[in-house]
Amino acid sequence: MVVATAGAGIAAQRGATPVGVWVFLVVLGGWVITLCLHEFAHAVVALAAGDTSVRARGYLTLNPARYTDVTYSVVIPIILLAVGGIPLPGGAVLVEPGRLRRHWYASLVSAAGPATNLIAGFVLAILGAPLLSYLGAALSFLALLQFVAAVLNLLPVPGFDGFGILEPYFSPRFKERIRPLRPWLPLVVFAILWSVPGASSWIFTAGYRLLDLAGGSRSLAQVGAGLFRFWS
């Protein structure tokens, strides 16, 4: 995946035709790589906090095939990104909170994923802004997607890392009440973002502001977004 993404990046930098395909491959490949980094960060922090089960389950790897649910964590986010342009966060690493040395360590484990997206966004924005090329557009758009994914993933909704950050401080009674709803609430959020006009605009507004903060280029990101959907 890394080699294929790098090859597409070289082609995009050289302006090889069809350039939209190369931008698409750079963004898609980069997105898969950062999904792996996101999940790996959860596992590493969980291990450091005392949950050795992540090692036994094989999470300490960047290989997406070792995740609990490759379909939900990688395949579906890729399809939704390609079709709708919404960077839906995946969910793969199963953590056992009872193994953590402190109950609030669970907040750190959950925060590790969005923090990884933010760091990746800043790095990509810095790398992409000086490149007045198709590669710069691809990297800038990928940086924007990292920021949007971080904002979306910080929603305090079950199934998102934002809820995981707060969950250690909720009462067992409250957590038991919402347990039946947990599998469905992320789908509700996505359905709203997908179907309600303007519902997703606020997360992209926040993403663009973070891109500005990182010193990225809005114009390059917008060019990259257009080239990414080369078929439309």
One-character DSSP codes across 95-125? --GGGSSSTTHHHHHHHHHHHHHHHHHHHHH
Convert the pLDDT of each residue in 65-111 to its tens digit.
776 566 666 666 777 777 666 776 666 678 888 899 998 999 999 99
Q: What is the pLDDT of residue 51?
A: 93
Q: Out of 39, 96, 167, 176, pick the active-site residue.
A: 39
Tokens of 166: 């707060």
Q: What is the pLDDT of residue 119?
A: 98
Q: What is the pLDDT of residue 74?
A: 64
* Cα 21 to chain centroid, rounded: 22
Amino acid (one-letter) located at 95: V
Q: What is the pLDDT of residue 37?
A: 92
> Which regions in the chain score pLDDT beneath 70?
67-76, 83-85, 88-92
What is the pTM for the complete model shown?
Answer: 0.91
Question: Residue 150 to residues 98, 105, 110: CA-CA distances in angstroms?
Answer: 26, 20, 12
Tokens of 197: 């006009």
Q: Is 176 exposed, middle or buried (0-12, 13-18, 19+ CB in 10 A)?
A: exposed
Q: Is 39 a catalytic residue?
A: yes
- Per DSSP, the three-state class of 206 is helix
Q: What is the pLDDT of residue 138?
A: 97
Rg (CA), the chain: 18
* Own/partner pairs, 83-87, CB within 8 angstroms, 24+ separation: 84/194, 85/225, 85/228, 85/229, 86/148, 86/152, 86/190, 86/193, 86/194, 86/200, 87/31, 87/145, 87/146, 87/148, 87/149, 87/152
Q: What is the pLDDT of residue 151?
A: 94
